[in-house]
Amino acid sequence: MAVRGIEPVVLELDRLENLAESGYYNPYTMFDWPDAIEPDLPWMSESLVTLAGTPMWDELSREQQIALTRYEAINFFSLNIHGIRELMSEVVMRIHERTYADVSEFLHHFIGEENEHMWFFAQFCLRYGGKLYPAQPTLKAGSVDHLSPVARELIVFARILIFEEIVDFYNARMATDQSLPHIAREINRVHHQDESRHVAFGRMIFTNLLEQVAKRDPAEVPVVADYLEQYLQYSIGTLYNPAAYRDAGIPDALALRRQALEHPARKEAHDEVLKRTRRFLAKSGLETEASK
């Protein structure tokens, strides 16, 4: 693990560690998994599906609408699973590096909790959806290999933070959506609860590493900002899975995806999802055209 040229990351994490300890729960026993879910209930909030607010949603039959909420819930939870796999592997590789020695106590909580989240998301998908959607293909050739080691570290933790903040936008809303089945609401609620600590930690480590990048070579800061703006757009795009449209019985999935992504109502919805994160990035000094 190349972390040379990076100063040790020292953060005040006592409060977050105490909260992780006092709020610890057993995920394997805390959920009451029903054998089946009521057939006429949406699994994802209707206002959060990728066609919400467009004529494409109104043109669907009620059966297709309900089916789409279900497959998009499976897609959303699958994205959580793949995102957690990626972030866990990154954190595991760093946990006892000298750079992260001071934060390793919290990282242990973090990995443990993320592993548990992955378990309950997968339970939901496999019990009720019978599958996970596969991870999208990636290029092994890194798009940030040309940056300094510390900028690459920043990007690792920035990706984790952005992923968590986007997911949390959805979790927070679905945690209280009374139209959803109880088990779907519960999973979103529990995840939202843990993620608030992870987001707080993510912002602290992000700020520390960004300061190091800016000190070493300020010219890398706008390059990181542009990459992260692309990552925000990429993350939004993963919510629009043509396989979910096909599974819901909607024809021309790829054309529909393209039209939905470009629809003004959806662009407004994307801005709403990303508002908090863009504001944080801009406040940190990573302003891009899109965040202005």
Partner 1 sequence: MTSEPMQEVEKFILGRNPELDHITRDLDLIDSRAINSLAFVEFIFLLEELTQEMIDPEEVDLDDFRTLDALEARFFKKESA
Rule CB under 8 A: say whether 233 interacts with partner 1: yes
The Cα 177–Cα 187 span in angstroms is 12
Of 53, 149, 181, 242, the one binding partner 1 (CB under 8 A) is 242
Of 109, 192, 198, 257, the one binding partner 1 (CB under 8 A) is 257
Residue 101 or 255: the one with the smaller Cβ distance to partner 1 is 255
Of 22, 29, 39, 137, the one binding partner 1 (CB under 8 A) is 137
Of 5, 23, 142, 222, the one binding partner 1 (CB under 8 A) is 142
Rule CB under 8 A: say whether 89 interacts with partner 1: no
DSSP category for residue 136: P
CB of 230 to partner 1, least distance (A): 5
CB of 243 to partner 1, least distance (A): 9
How many residues bind to partner 1 according to rule CB under 8 A?
A: 23
Say whether 221 sits in a helix, a strand or coil. helix
Question: Amino acid letter at 111?
Answer: I
**Hey, what long-range contacts does 236-240 have (CB within 8 A, 24 or more apart)?**
236/166, 236/261, 236/270, 236/273, 236/274, 237/261, 238/79, 238/136, 239/50, 239/72, 239/75, 239/76, 239/79, 240/50
Residue 19 or 261: the one with the smaller Cβ distance to partner 1 is 261
Of the candidate spans 5-13, 134-142, 182-190, 279-287, the one that interacts with partner 1 by CB under 8 A turns out to be: 134-142
CA angle centred on 77, ends 74 and 80, rounded to 5°: 150
Cβ neighbors of 148 (< 8 A, separation 6 or more) are 5, 213, 216, 217, 220
Cβ 180 vs Cβ 45: under 8 Å: yes
Half-sphere exposure for 64 (CA within 13 Å, toward CB): 12
Report 143-172 residues binding partner 1 (CB under 8 A): 143, 146
Rule CB under 8 A: say whether 230 interacts with partner 1: yes
Rule CB under 8 A: say whether 222 interacts with partner 1: no
DSSP category for residue 129: I
Q: Which positions lie near partner 1, rule CB under 8 A? A: 134-143, 146, 227, 230-231, 233-234, 237-238, 242, 254-255, 257-258
